[in-house]
Structure 1
Amino acid sequence: MILVTTPTGDIGARVLSRIAQSERPLRVVVRDAAKLPRDLIGRIDVVEGSHGDPSVIAQALAQIDSVFWLPPGSPASANAKEAYVDFSRPFCAALASSQVRHVVGVSALGRGWPKPAGHVTASLQMDDMIAGTGVAYRALACASLMDNLKRQADVISARDVFYLPTAGNLKLPHVAKADIADVASRLLTQTDWSGVDAIPLLGPENLSFEEMASVMTTVLGRPIRFQEMSMEDFGGMMQAAGASEGMAAAMVEMFTAKNEGMDNMVEPPSRAITPTTFRQWCDEELRPVL
């Protein structure tokens, strides 16, 4: 049986939908079962509660052999370590007495980066903790998510502009959540792998935010521009959106590391496993939101 965490989140819901099309029995752990797709009610096993709660995750792992692991990364957490590492401790403790043999987790690029990198640093510490339990583990080392631009949908709609604390001409890898879910689902349903490894998910090409604005202009049919903002303003924007001071600082650290080259340290043998182009993402994901 496969356990899916965050089944109502943007990535988790996609993983759940894909695995539900297979013959594998499924369980989810979810805070509010009413938010699950109605067509899956009665077809999957449901454990209600937080997967960071020791008693909940212990119950959820009974008779499970494979797990999709993704902490919610609550912006209200005191800091990134609490949001990812501390949240995952009960899960790692419960693995020892479980039947789980395979875990697939969502993580980040940045292994080997010598400086603090906020959310990335915490995600890699989480990976090491899970790997240390002895399960076969695949960390999906993701580049920046194209889908994060949807957080600025209201601003794009009203002002035809989006903001980030990065030079407009800096080329970086970007990956779609749909591709992350595809890779995760394949690993969870085809468990012919062992050991511990990270799989870089970089999308099909590196793009600058100015290039992304040009693509958005073409797809949306109106001029969209990118505006670089300062790190100080970015941190303030994160706190205004509900992030704690520590989580906002972690975002600043992460973007600083990305700007300095962290995401460009790895080039996988093939980028074909994450084929969604930014133009395709804009057409399928951004335009309907706007």
Structure 2
Amino acid sequence: MIVITAPTGNIGHQVLENVLADDRPVRVIVRDPAKLPADVRDRAEVVQGSHGDPDVAARAFQGADALFWLLPNNLGAPSVEASYLDFTRPAAAAMREQGVRRVVGVSALGRGTAYADKAGFVTASLAMDDMIADTGVDFRALAMPGFMDNLLRQVRGIKEQGAFYDTLAPDRRLPTVATREIAAVAARLLLDDTWSGQQEVPVLGPEDLSNDEMAAIASEVLETPVRYRQITGEALVERLADRGASGPMAHGMVDMMAAKDNGLDLGVTRTPQHAVETPTTFRRWCEYALKPAVRAA
């Protein structure tokens, strides 16, 4: 039995599609089953509720050979620690009690770097990994850079203003990855019952780009000028507050972005295998994801 959390989210629904294609027994944990496609409800066992709820986790993890672990996006949480660690703690106990064999989790790059202990969301994510590892499960933590798909949150600004915004220096080159490839790596590990032990799996994408370079590529694909505008941390806090973020969560995001600007995501050397497993370039992503989204906005 493969258990998948967050099955209606951007990454989770793609993991679910990939796993279902292999025709293995699948169980999903979801707050609102109506958000699942009808064919998924027919093919997967559904446990309703939050995977941060101890009773839900205990019920869902029974007989689990593999578990896909992904936190929900909770910008309104009272603290970064509550969002990551308090949410995960009951599930970690259920992993141990129910004898879950293998866990694949979405995490972050940065472990071992000088900024890992002051990187907001990333610091909490790495602590979450440690909590899961302490249960004794076989564990693969997918260590992520930024997601290309996050740019879709700024589609309207790209269409109406010809610009997107962030706090990173315009020339800071960093790795990014498409979520469909995160899902593919996660599904491959969930379906492979030959691995054991605990380790990080960096998921880097094929290239490092700056936001200025990304703007130039987006301009070419969209056939209209797109510019990158750097904003301050204070401006980002205000934007996140408008989206319902609590003060601690907004500042946790700012701390993470500051750490990335200082090289948090550059502690792992890309190998040829990374280009094989995650081949989608930013240009290709713009062609299949950004361009249709801008046209539809």
TM-score by length of 2: 0.96
Partner of 1:282: 286
Q: Which residue identity is paired with 1:271?
A: H
SS of 1:162's partner is strand
- Asked if structure 2 preserves the Cα contact closer than 8 Å seen for 1:52 and 1:91, the reply is yes
Partner of 2:246: 244
Q: Which residue identity is paired with 2:274?
A: R
Identity rate of aligned residues, in percent? 49
Give 1:17 shift.
0.5
Distance 1:197 1:184 in 2: 14
The equivalences for 1:41-120 within 5 A come to 41-115=41-115, 116-120=118-122
Partner of 1:121: 123
SS of 2:225's partner is coil
Distance 1:216 1:192 in 2: 41
- Asked if structure 2 preserves the Cα contact closer than 8 Å seen for 1:119 and 1:254, the reply is yes
Give 1:113 shift.
2.9
Distance 2:88 2:73 in 1: 11
Which range moves more in the overlay, 267-276 or 124-133?
Answer: 267-276
Distance 2:70 2:270 in 1: 23
- Asked if structure 2 preserves the Cα contact closer than 8 Å seen for 1:57 and 1:91, the reply is yes
Residue number among 134, 140, 145 corresponding to 1:132 in the alignment: 134
Distance 2:94 2:40 in 1: 27
Give 1:268 shift.
3.9
Distance 1:10 1:119 in 2: 19
Are residues 1:165 and 2:183 paired?
no
Distance 2:193 2:74 in 1: 30
Alpha-carbon displacement from aligned partner over 1:248-277 (angstroms, at most 9, x marks no partner): 000000000000111111114332211111
Give 1:114 shift.
3.3
- Asked if structure 2 preserves the Cα contact closer than 8 Å seen for 1:73 and 1:84, the reply is no
Give 1:239 shift.
1.2
The equivalences for 1:177-188 within 5 A come to 177-188=179-190
Q: Which residue identity is paired with 2:187?
A: S
User: What's the C-alpha RMSD, in Å, of the aligned pairs?
Assistant: 1.0
Are residues 1:3 and 2:3 paired?
yes
Alpha-carbon displacement from aligned partner over 1:108-146 (angstroms, at most 9, x marks no partner): 001023341000000000000000100000000000111
Distance 1:202 1:78 in 2: 31
Distance 2:139 2:73 in 1: 20
Distance 1:130 1:108 in 2: 14
Partner of 2:256: 254
Are residues 1:271 and 2:237 paired?
no
Which range moves more in the overlay, 176-185 or 263-272?
Answer: 263-272
- Asked if structure 2 preserves the Cα contact closer than 8 Å seen for 1:142 and 1:201, the reply is yes
Alpha-carbon displacement from aligned partner over 1:26-65 (angstroms, at most 9, x marks no partner): 0000000000011122211000000000111111111111
Give the gaps of 5 or more residues in structure 1. Answer: none
Are residues 1:218 and 2:214 paired?
no
Q: Which residue identity is paired with 2:185?
A: V
SS of 1:3's partner is strand
Q: Which has the higher helix share?
A: 2
Q: Which residue identity is paired with 2:62?
A: A
SS of 1:78's partner is coil
Distance 1:193 1:97 in 2: 21
Are residues 1:235 and 2:237 paired?
yes
Distance 1:235 1:117 in 2: 15
Give 1:99 shift.
3.1
Distance 2:202 2:89 in 1: 24
Aligned residues: 290
Give 1:166 shift.
1.1
Give the gaps of 5 or more residues in structure 2. Answer: none
Distance 2:95 2:207 in 1: 37
Q: Which runs of 4+ in 1 moved over 4 A?
A: none
Give 1:79 shift.
1.6
- Asked if structure 1 preserves the Cα contact closer than 8 Å seen for 2:58 and 2:91, the reply is yes
